[in-house]
Amino acid sequence: MTQKLYLEDLKTGDVFKSGEYAITAEEIKAFAGRYDPQPFHLDEEAARDTFFQGLAASGWHTCAITMRLFVGSVPIAGGLIGAGSDVSWSQPTRPGDTLHVDSTILDITPSRSKPDRGIVTIQSDTINQRGELCQRAVSRVLAFKRG
Amino acid sequence: MTQKLYLEDLKTGDVFKSGEYAITAEEIKAFAGRYDPQPFHLDEEAARDTFFQGLAASGWHTCAITMRLFVGSVPIAGGLIGAGSDVSWSQPTRPGDTLHVDSTILDITPSRSKPDRGIVTIQSDTINQRGELCQRAVSRVLAFKRG
């Protein structure tokens, strides 16, 4: 098992590379049917004449897959607990895409009020099999000091 | 069916109120099993001794439910197409919570390069049955002018 990382183990510029996640049309439609029921996420035919010009994953589905890859690649002790995230979608995730996530620590700020912890700002780029950026998320994640 | 709204129909300060969505422990665990497999999202017992002190929904699950409620309450013509969103989680969504979303237009910026459209900045507050804010998302959404 990967060694868990505490606040003292992290530094600005550290990079974490994830494994891969392949997304199918079926998964895109299943996620959208429950959480983002719009024609361009639900049906190839209906998607053709929309802004996306074909079936596209919900941006929130790309976020969810990014989290899955993030959990598998950034072993912060106590788990990945987010205070928030600023997400941009530069292009949609498509059926058949294989995604991976490159995460880079941008900043580390010790808490003033709680000396046992800090907030780590991490940029996670979600990239498809052609090397194209689908999503950039800059997230604020809790990290704890060694007990 | 609700009338669809074009860029000209929207103005700063407009408010949209959603329906409700009740979340169960089963749905929290199912979402987390696929997208955010961490102990505090997967199992009541394991969650007890964590930061969350009990089972909590993934923040990305709260985002997904928020989108479901947003789709049902903000009828922008052509669909809800997001460029990005800045999300903050002020407290976790818990099993048994019933969520609703209040969305307020903060800003409308016509596109300089594409005169048929604009970007609408919308703040969506996700609120539980006790009136507590669980999530605030400030999203940038496309809107088109009448054809």
pLDDT tens-digit readout, B21-43: 999 999 999 999 999 999 999 99
- Nearest CB to A84; choose among B35, B61, B87: B87
Amino acid letter, B37: P
| pLDDT at position B118 over 80 | yes
- Nearest CB to A68; choose among B36, B83, B86: B36
Q: Which of residues 15 through 74 in chain A touch B, CB cutoff 8 A?
A: 31, 34-40, 50-52, 58-61, 63-65, 67-68, 71
Contact at CB, A68 and B37, closer than 8 angstroms: yes
Measure the N-to-C terminal CA separation of chain B; round to a whole number of Å: 20
Beta bridge partners of A86: A138, B86
Judged by a CB distance cut-off of 8 A, whether residue B88 touches chain A is: yes
Q: Which residue has the tokens 């003292």?
A: A8
What percent of chain A stands above pLDDT 90?
97
Judged by a CB distance cut-off of 8 A, whether residue A9 touches chain B is: no
Q: Which two tokens stand for residue B18?
A: 């959603």
- Best A61, A87, A140 member to test B by mutation, with max B CBs in 10 Å, is A87
Predicted local confidence at residue A36, as pLDDT: 98
| pLDDT at position B1 over 90 | no
Give the pLDDT mean for B97-108: 98
- Nearest CB to A60; choose among B51, B64, B79: B64
Fold of B7-144: Thiol Ester Dehydrase; Chain A (3.10.129)
Tens-digit pLDDT profile for residues A67-115: 999 999 999 999 999 999 999 999 999 999 999 999 999 999 999 999 9
Where exactly are the structural domains of chain B?
Answer: 7-144
**Secondary structure (DSSP) of B39-80:** HHHH-HHHHHTSTTSS----HHHHHHHHHHHHHTT--BTT--
Q: How confident is the model at residue B84 (pLDDT cuts 50, 70, 90)?
A: very high
Contact at CB, A35 and B78, closer than 8 angstroms: no
Q: How confident is the model at residue A140 (pLDDT cuts 50, 70, 90)?
A: very high
Judged by a CB distance cut-off of 8 A, whether residue B82 touches chain A is: yes
- For strand B82-89 and strand B117-127, is the pairing parallel, antiparallel, or unpaired? unpaired
Beta bridge partners of A119: A109, A142
Beta bridge partners of A101: A126
Beta bridge partners of B21: B99
CB pairs under 8 A between A and B: 91
- How close A77 gets to chain B, by Cα (Å)? 11
Radius of gyration of chain A (CA): 17
Q: How confident is the model at residue A1 (pLDDT cuts 50, 70, 90)?
A: low
What percent of chain B stands above pLDDT 70?
99
Contact at CB, A87 and B85, closer than 8 angstroms: yes
What percent of chain B stands above pLDDT 90?
97
As a whole number, the mean pLDDT across chain B is 97
Predicted local confidence at residue B147, as pLDDT: 75
| pLDDT at position A18 over 70 | yes
B3 vs B63, more confident: B63
Residue of chain B minimizing CA distance to A35: B68
- Chain B positions touching A63 (Cβ under 8 A) are 60, 63
The SS3 call for residue A124 is strand
Predicted local confidence at residue A27, as pLDDT: 98
Tens-digit pLDDT profile for residues A36-76: 999 999 999 999 999 999 999 999 999 999 999 999 999 99
Predicted local confidence at residue B42, as pLDDT: 98
pTM over 0.95: yes
